[in-house]
């Protein structure tokens, strides 16, 4: 019986392709998508349940594993700061629109309004202030307030001895009131009165 013949290769013949699906490397794109999903979930849950919502719950809401969450955000403060970055952007834009001596009072009031909208954002700012200059939120807040504060002092709008640290102290006061009485209808008035104790110029007229 003659041996089986070997198939001859034809010049230019393309070898058969594998039937296995060929997937593109989506590493960077997938990482960016996961980050956005984590941030969106964090915003929803921080606003709904506060700053202390479990990170595992955020990961589950985002549809990713906890390891993926921690690769993007090593801790709660870093995640919350990134989640509320848009709030800081809006405050910076408001500050840029009010460059005069009265800018401090206007920016401060907008900042307090933003803080009262979400107790989670209050905690982000309060904890960032406690963490020091290593946290971007504290740096940005200080940068927004410092220049306006100097102008306001020179114009005699606020006390001459008022410092940025005093404003961060007020943030902590807002934090304490907002966290202990998040649904109190008189919360805004309590905050207004507390702010007025430090400097009446920073307070605002009570609602009728």
Are 94 and 145 within 8 A, CB to CB? no
Which has the closest alpha carbon to 81: 37, 124, 131? 124
- The CATH number assigned to the domain with range 31-74 reads 1.10.10.60
Query: What digits encode the pLDDT tens for the residues 127-175?
Result: 666 655 445 677 788 888 888 999 999 999 999 999 999 998 888 887 7
Q: Which of 1-5, 21-25, 42-46, 128-132 has the lowest mean pLDDT?
A: 21-25
- Determine whether 167 is exposed, middle or buried from the number of CB atoms within 10 Å of its CB (0-12, 13-18, 19+): buried
pLDDT single digits (tens) 44-58: 998 788 788 999 999
Domain ranges, ordered by start, for the chain: 31-74, 84-202
Question: Sorting pLDDT into bands at 50, 70 and 90, what band is 73?
Answer: very high
* pLDDT, mean of residues 82-86: 83
Rounded Cα distance, 94 and 99, in Å = 9
91 Cβ contact partners less than 8 Å away, ≥ 6 residues apart = 107, 110, 111, 114, 144
Backbone CA torsion sign across 152, 153, 158, 162: positive
């Amino acid at each position: 019986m003659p041996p089986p013949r070997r198939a001859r290769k034809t010049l230019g013949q393309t070898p058969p392709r594998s039937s296995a699906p060929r997937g593109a490397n989506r590493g960077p794109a997938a990482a960016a998508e996961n980050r956005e999903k984590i941030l969106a979930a964090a915003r929803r849950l921080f606003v709904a349940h506060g700053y202390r919502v479990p990170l595992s719950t955020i990961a589950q809401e985002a549809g990713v594993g906890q390891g993926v969450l921690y690769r993007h955000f090593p801790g709660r403060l870093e995640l919350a700061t990134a989640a509320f970055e848009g709030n800081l952007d809006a405050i910076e834009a408001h500050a840029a629109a009010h460059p005069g001596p009265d800018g401090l009072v206007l920016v401060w009031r907008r900042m307090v309004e933003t803080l009262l909208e979400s107790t989670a954002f209050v905690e982000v700012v309060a904890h960032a202030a406690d963490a020091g200059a290593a946290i971007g939120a504290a740096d940005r807040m200080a940068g927004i307030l410092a220049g306006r504060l100097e102008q306001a002092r020179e114009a005699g709008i606020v006390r001459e001895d008022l410092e940025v640290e005093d404003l961060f102290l007020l943030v902590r006061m807002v934090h304490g009131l907002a966290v202990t009485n998040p649904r109190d209808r008189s919360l805004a008035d309590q905050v207004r009165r507390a702010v007025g104790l430090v400097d009446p110029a920073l307070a605002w007229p009570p609602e009728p």
